[in-house]
Structure 1
Amino acid sequence: MTAKRPALRSNQNASMIDDFMRPHATDTPLIRIGDFGDGGYLVPDDLRGIAACYSPGVSRQASFEMDMAKHGIPSFMADASVKNPPLEVPGAQFVPKFLGDKDEGEFMTLASWVAATDPDPSADLLLQMDIEGAEYATLAAAPRELLKRFRMIVIEWHHLPSILTKPRFSARALATIENLREDFVTVHLHPNNVSGTVEIDGENIPRVVEATLLRRDRASGLRPADPLPHPLDRRHNPRKPALTLPKRWVGDAGHPTSA
C-alpha cells in the first residue's frame, strides 16, 4: 500500500541523494550472487582478487556468503540478533555483534572489525550490508581510506521516504553520501517489494532499495543505466507485486515488470 507524505523539504539535499542513487551501466556485466529472491544481489562480474567479503546483517539468510565461498572468497559475518548464521558457510567467521558508529557493548565499527580480521591488507574487499537503517551511521563513521578497500559495496538503503523529506534523516544520508560519492558509483538499483512505497511529489518512493556500488577505478565505460529491472532481478516476496523505481533515479530506464 502506498502512503502519502509531504513534499520534499530541501531540493538541494534531494538532488544530491538522487544523483548518488542514479544507477549507471559499465563495461562489466552483472551476475547474481545468492538466492533468486531475498538474500541474492547483482554484482559486477569482477570478483577475482577480492580477499574477503564482510557481511553484517546475517539474520536468516546466508546464500550470498555461500556463493562467495564457491568463488573462493571467505566471509566475515556479524549480527547480534542471531546466535549463529543459518548456514555453515565454508571458511566463514561469525561474530554476534551489530555494526555502528562506536565500539561499545554489542556494537562495533567497521574499522575495528576489519582491523581485527583483515586477511590481506594489500587486497581488495567486498562489503555486503543489510543492517536495517544502521548503514548510514556505520558508513558515515568509516574512514574513507578504509571504504576504498572495498571494490564493491552491496547494500540495502532503508527509510528512503524519510530521508527525502525529514531533515534528521536526510542529514544522516548526506553524511554517508559525502563519504562515498567521490570513490563509488551506483551500478545497480532494485526496490524491495516487501516494504511498500510512499508518495512524494507525485512519485512512489520505495521504503527500501538494494543497491550495488562499484569503486570508480573499476567502473569502465560508465553510461546511463540499461533498462531496469535487470533480467536477473527477482522480487523479494514473489507473492507481492513488483515495485517500479521512480523516474527521479532512473529516468526512462525503469519501467514496471514482473521482476
Structure 2
Amino acid sequence: MGLFIGSNRLLNRLRTIRDIVSDIQKKTNNQTDNQSINQSINQSINQSINQLSNRITQIEYNIQDLKITLNNLYMPPEQDDKYSWDGRRFEYLHRLLEIKDIKDVGFVRIGHEYDGGYIMLDDFHENMIAYSYGISNDVSWDLDMANHHIHCYMYDHTITSLPQESLYFHWRKEGICGIKKTDHCNTLDSHINHNGHASNKNLILKMDVEGAEWDALINLDEKTLNQFQQMVFEFHDMYDPHRYSMICRVLEKLNKTHQCIHVHGNNYGPRKCSNKLVIPHALEVLYARKESYEFLPSQHFYPREFDMPCNPYADEIILGYWNL
C-alpha cells in the first residue's frame, strides 16, 4: 500500500514541476516578445523545456505501468481461475470495454460482408469527413463512405496505389505512428492539421493497423479524440501481457470522450478464455462520442444477429454476455 501512496505523491510532484515548467515557458515567450531576445537562444530554451516536459510525461507513464503491475501482483492466493493472472487482466479489460446501448440510433454494416466490413452507427451526413487507416487491397469501407457523399482521407504506407479510385478518395502513402515520426509514418494530429480539419468535429475514424494503434492512440491529444463522432478499431494483441499496461491506458483515455457500443471478435486469429471471459487476439470495437448521444444500460449476447464472421469458413468467436 505504501508503494501506491508513494507513487501518487511522486505523480503529484511531477505534475507540479510540469506546471512550473509550463509557466516558465510562457514567461520566456512573453520576454521574447518584449525584449527581442536572440531567436536561436529562445529556440534552445524552448527545446530544453519541451524535452523536460516529455521526460516528465514518460515518467508518469512508467509509474502508471508500475501501479497496474502491482495491482495485478497484489492478489489472494490462486483458488480458481478468477484470481489467475489472465483472469484479473481479462476482467479489467471487460470493464474498460463495458458496452452501452445508444438511444434512437441503429447499426449498419459498412464495407464487405466479411473481413473488411465493420458495424457502425447509421448516422451519417454529407458534412462529415472520414479518416481511414489501413487499406491494403480493400476499399469497401471507404466506398460505402463515398456512397454517403463523405470524403475519405486514407493512409497506408504498405501499398503503392489504391485498388480502386473515387472522387471522394484522398490517399497518401503514409502510415500512422505516435510521437516518433518517420519518413513514412506520421501522427493523426499532423494528418488532421495538414488536411485543414483541426476545428472540424464531424469526423469519423476507422483504424486497422496491425498493432500500431496503441502507440498512435496513447500519444493522441484528448481534444483531437473528441473531434470524432464515431470511431471503429480493430484492436490487436489484446491478451499480450507485455502490452497490457499500454492497452489499459489507451482504453482509459478513450473512455473519457467516447462510449464503447459494440464489440466483435476477429475469427482469423486465436482467442483465450479465463473464468468464462473470452478475449480474442483481435477485437473490433465501435465507439460513439459521449457528448453526441444518449446511452442506456446494455446486456446483449455477442456476436449479435447482425454480425458476420471475418473468416466465412470458420466459426464465429463466441464472446457471450460481454458486460460483467
For normalisation by structure 1, the TM-score amounts to 0.85
**Letter in structure 1 aligned against 2:155:** A
Aligned to 1:137: 215
**Is residue 2:95 matched to residue 1:19?**
yes
Alpha-carbon displacement from aligned partner over 1:36-94 (angstroms, at most 9, x marks no partner): 11111111122126521101111121101000001011101111111122221331111
Q: 2:170 aligns with which of 85, 89, 93?
A: 93
Output one character per residue of 1:111-133: Cα deviation in whole Å (capped at 9) or x when no partner: 10111013573341000000011
- Superposed CA RMSD in Å reads 2.1
Q: CA 1:129–1:141 in 2, change beyond 3 Å: closer, same or farther?
A: same
CA distance, structure 2, for counterparts of residue 204 and residue 146 of structure 1: 31
Give deviations 1:114-163, integer Å, cap 9, x for gaps. Answer: 1101357334100000001111110111110001000011100111121x
Say which structure is richer in helix. 2
Considering fraction of residues, name the structure with more strand.
Answer: 1
Contact 2:277–2:319 (CA<8 Å) still a contact in 1? Answer: no
- AA of the residue aligned to 2:315: P
Paired position in structure 1 for 2:244: 170
After the TM superposition, which parts of structure 1 deviate over 6 Å for at least 4 consecutive aligned residues? Answer: none
Please give the per-residue CA displacement for 1:201-240, whole angstroms capped at 9, x wherever unaligned. 4544211111100001223142214443233211111111
* Structure 2, unpaired ranges of 5+: 1-82
Residue 186 of structure 1: how far off its partner (Å): 0.8
Of 279, 293, 310, the residue aligned with 1:236 is 310
- Which of 284, 289, 298 is equivalent to 1:215? 289
SS for the counterpart of 2:286 is strand
Letter in 2 for 1:74: H
Counterpart pick for 1:44 among 121, 128, 140: 121
> What's the offset of the Cα at 1:14?
4.9
Q: What does residue 154 of structure 1 align with? A: 232
Paired amino acid for 1:219: Y
CA distance, structure 2, for counterparts of residue 120 and residue 70 of structure 1: 24
The SS at the match of 1:182 is helix
Q: State the SS of the aligned residue for 2:239.
A: helix
Determine if contact 1:66/1:90 at 8 Å carries over to the other structure.
no
Separation in structure 2 between the aligned mates of residue 147 and residue 130 of structure 1, nearest angstrom: 17
Cα distance in 2, alignment partners of residues 231 and 128 from structure 1: 22
Contact persistence 1:187–1:225 (CA under 8 A): no
Q: Residues 8 and 200 of structure 1 are in contact (CA less than 8 Å); yes or no, is this contact kept in structure 2?
A: no
Cα distance in 2 for partners of 1:104, 1:178 equals 27
- For residues 150 and 72 of structure 1, what CA distance do their matches in structure 2 show? 17
**In the alignment, is residue 110 of structure 1 matched against residue 188 of structure 2?**
yes
Following superposition, the deviation at residue 9 of structure 1 comes to 5.9
User: What is the aligned partner in structure 2 of residue 256 from structure 1?
Assistant: none
- How far 1:105 moved relative to its partner? 1.8
Amino acid at match of 1:104: T
Q: Percent identity?
A: 24
SS at match of 1:37: coil
Whether contact under 8 Å (2:201, 2:229) holds in the other structure is no
> 2: distance between equivalents of 1:89 and 1:235?
28
AA partner of residue 177 (structure 2)? G
Q: Which runs of 5+ in 1 are unaligned?
A: 1-5, 252-259
Q: Say how many residue pairs are matched.
A: 240
Structure 2-normalised TM-score?
0.69
Give CA deviations for 1:151-207 in whole Å, capped at 9, x if unaligned. Answer: 011100111121xxx1x3112112212321111111111111110212334544211
Kept in 2: contact 1:152–1:215 (CA 8 A)? yes
Query: Which position in structure 1 is the counterpart of 2:203?
Result: 125
- Contact 1:190–1:233 (Cα < 8 Å) also in 2: yes
| In 2: Cα distance, 1:31 partner to 1:236 partner | 16
Contact 1:53 / 1:127 at 8 angstroms: preserved in 2? yes
Q: Would you say the 8 A contact 1:49–1:124 is kept in 2?
A: no
